């Protein structure tokens, strides 16, 4: 009998403990507890970037499918994207410079975020404008690349004298979509830098710089995949 009483007490204690635990959970939820300290704008940027990741993933997956199923030989990137400088045929030199520019812009953007949280408004503005300038340089080089392919090589979205016709459609669509993102990023950086310089965020804080940086780093990361798929494969 004493053992039975002990077991009953133990069961009762477990029920009380379980009820207490669930009551604690209910209290936490009803009190609207915050799990992560994240500004609303930053959360929205992450959601936008996630949706954009799906779009670029679909584009690149479609590109791989088209390339592997093409019945005509795919153009050689070393020939298509080569430049003749001082009589020398140099493959991928422009693309290497464009990639270096975007990687450098990621560094200047990271430094801008760091100085923003330190409260150094002047350096933040300068570094954001430097990032925007690098992005604009990238767009200028991409415009030069497109002009060369269209005017000199005769590549079109519906045709390609250098190989498979699908090459032009895939190249212009994916690099053009990325170029639009870079262009939007340049405008975004310029506007935010101007507002910071005007003191618009002195009271709100400088979370907006980090949010802008998230977008720019995403654009740079996407270019790494485009570079690998189009120019190295």
Helix locations, 148-198, DSSP H: 166-197
In the predicted structure, residue 48 carries a pLDDT above the cut 80 = yes
The Cα–Cα gap between 155 and 79 comes to 13
Same domain, 47 and 156: yes
Same domain, 8 and 69: no
In the predicted structure, residue 63 carries a pLDDT above the cut 60 = yes
Same domain, 117 and 163: yes
Question: pLDDT tens digit string along 115-146?
Answer: 999 989 999 999 999 999 999 999 999 999 99
Same domain, 107 and 83: yes
Q: CATH number, domain at 160?
A: 1.20.120.80
Same domain, 25 and 113: no
Same domain, 87 and 118: yes
Residue pair 71/161 in contact (Cβ under 8 Å)? The answer is: no
Same domain, 137 and 203: yes
Same domain, 46 and 24: no
Same domain, 19 and 97: no
Same domain, 10 and 70: no
Same domain, 198 and 144: yes
Mean per-residue pLDDT of the chain = 86
pLDDT band at 49 (very low <50, low <70, confident <90, very high): very high
In the predicted structure, residue 88 carries a pLDDT above the cut 70 = yes
pLDDT band at 30 (very low <50, low <70, confident <90, very high): low
> The domain containing residue 4 runs over which residues?
1-33
What total of structural domains would you count in the chain?
A: 2
Same domain, 48 and 150: yes
More confident residue, 199 or 88: 199
């Amino acid at each position: 009998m004493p053992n039975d009483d002990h077991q009953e007490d133990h069961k009762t204690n477990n029920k009380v403990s379980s009820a207490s635990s669930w009551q604690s959970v209910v209290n936490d939820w009803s009190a609207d507890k915050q799990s992560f300290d994240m500004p609303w704008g930053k959360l929205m940027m992450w959601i936008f970037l996630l949706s954009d990741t799906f779009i670029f993933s679909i584009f690149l997956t479609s590109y791989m499918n088209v390339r592997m199923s093409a019945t005509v030989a795919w153009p050689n990137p070393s020939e298509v994207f080569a430049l003749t400088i001082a009589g020398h045929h140099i493959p991928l030199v422009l693309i290497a410079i464009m990639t270096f520019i975007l990687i450098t812009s990621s560094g200047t953007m990271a430094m801008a975020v760091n100085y923003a949280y330190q409260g150094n408004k002047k350096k933040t503005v300068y570094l954001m404008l430097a990032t925007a300038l690098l992005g604009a340089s990238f767009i200028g080089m991409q415009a030069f690349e497109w002009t060369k392919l269209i005017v000199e090589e005769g590549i079109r979205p519906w045709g390609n004298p250098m190989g498979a016709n699908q090459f032009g459609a895939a190249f212009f669509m994916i690099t053009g979509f990325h170029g639009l993102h870079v262009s939007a990023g340049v405008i975004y950086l310029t506007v935010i830098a101007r507002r910071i310089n005007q003191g618009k965020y002195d009271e709100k804080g400088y979370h907006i710089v980090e949010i802008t940086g998230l977008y720019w780093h995403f654009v740079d990361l996407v270019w790494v995949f485009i570079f690998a798929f189009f120019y190295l494969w």
